[in-house]
Amino acid sequence: MKIEIARDSLFDALNAVVGVVERRQTLPILGNVLLRADEDSLTLVATDLELQLTSRVPVTVVQPGAITVPARKLYDICRGLPEGASVALQVEDARAVMSSAGSRFILSTLPAEEFPALETESEHQTVRLAQRDLLRLIDKTHFAMAAQDVRYYLNGLCLHLSDTRLKAVATDGHRLALSECDLPERFEDRQVLVPRKGIQELQRLLDDSEAEVALMLSGSQLALELGSTAFVCKLIDGRFPEYQRVIPDPEGMYLRADRERVRQALARAAILANEKFRGVRLQISENELRLQTHNPEHEEAEEVVEVSYEGTPLEIGFNVTYLLEALGAMDGESFCLTLKASDASGLLTEPDDADTRYVVMPMRL
């Protein structure tokens, strides 16, 4: 194999796929990126056996062929080369020789035939929507996913097709985030679970544009194409909890406040919260929200914020991080907190966004 390519084109293609490569591998070849030169293009493939990213870039192919080389090393070399440089890459005696101006690098290789590429399943269901809508669903909910929970089905994001709506739901068992959007056509009820790493890569790949993206859902995969980049991800095999049952009725005692003012007050109070339990006490009375935290060192914080509230005085405890992340995912100037009792879940919403809801379980302080 022998090719000539612009450094910037190679770097952009590597940047699109290298995120899937783990620094520690069970198989040495999983630390490599597959390079396949054919006609006038170079295809780069990286995988961890659960997620695969493919990028295609135009090149001058002197001699076609395929090889795998260390992904991170190739990426770091390419990043260190000057912008606008031209790169020549060829395989000699089972080594990849990369040269550019006065620089020359020799990299180890492994055969392309040993690379465990994921095959995209041919039978799939296609869901079309704007990139910005899919990105919004992920941004509004991803933070509520569990991390390394033994309940493996919580370590990802649930995408729920329901009639003409697509819902994104994440929960770690203590809080829940739900956001939904309209679809241009009707679908039968279906749920798929996308693992955490797949969601993180989608966040990186998607942009806030009206450009259409096609989600291809098969029995065990989610696949999509974004320009010259293709994404394939194995789905989590499990059943997501019946999340609708834990969303409180919107009727109850209703607090409305300035989102940024409360968020900043919570952030200050969180400094002295117990590092293990992260609890904050909310004392709510007529038009006043009092936030209190303390820790084992007998340090305390108290914040008082003016709010709109005309219900019965109430005292309730929450994890301050859960409140901060929910408020941080909102866009509007104000938010609403609906409560029924001191031992019942709280429902956070925005007045101008009926498509997004957050549920936070109470905690004893």
Q: Does residue 355 sit in helix, strand or coil?
A: strand
Domains observed in the chain: 2-114 (3.10.150.10), 125-246 (3.10.150.10), 253-360 (3.10.150.10)
Is the pLDDT at 119 greater than 90, yes or no?
no
Quote the percentage of the chain above a pLDDT of 90. Answer: 93
Q: How many CA atoms lie within 13 A of 273 on its CB side?
A: 23
Model confidence band, residue 53 (pLDDT cutoffs 50, 70, 90): very high
| Predicted pLDDT of residue 66 | 97
Q: What is the pLDDT of residues 153-174, one digit of tens each?
A: 999 999 999 999 999 999 999 9
Is the pLDDT at 111 greater than 90, yes or no?
yes
| Predicted pLDDT of residue 352 | 92
Whole-number mean pLDDT of the chain?
96
Query: Would you say the C-alpha torsion 10, 13, 19, 21 has a positive or negative sign?
Result: negative
Question: Rounded to an integer, what is the distance from CA 340 to the centroid of its chain?
Answer: 32
CA distance 21 to 41: 22
CA distance 338 to 349: 8
Query: Would you say the C-alpha torsion 18, 19, 23, 27 has a positive or negative sign?
Result: negative
How many C-beta atoms surround the C-beta of residue 88 within 10 A?
A: 15
> Mean per-residue pLDDT for 99-113?
96
Quote the pTM value.
0.93
Q: What is the pLDDT of residues 229-283, one digit of tens each?
A: 999 999 999 999 999 999 998 888 999 999 999 999 999 999 999 999 999 999 9
| Predicted pLDDT of residue 235 | 97
Q: What is the pLDDT of residues 65-96, one digit of tens each?
A: 999 999 999 999 999 999 999 999 999 989 99
Q: Which residues make beta-bridge pairs with 37?
A: 42, 65
> What tokens does 122 get?
């041919």
Q: What is the pLDDT of residues 291-348, one digit of tens each?
A: 999 999 999 999 999 999 988 999 999 999 999 999 999 999 999 999 999 999 999 9
> Mean per-residue pLDDT for 22-41?
93
Q: Which region, left, alpha or beta, applies to residue 308 given φ > 0 means left and ψ of -120 to 50 means alpha?
A: beta
Beta-sheet strand order (sheet of 279-285): 300-306, 288-294, 279-285, 314-319
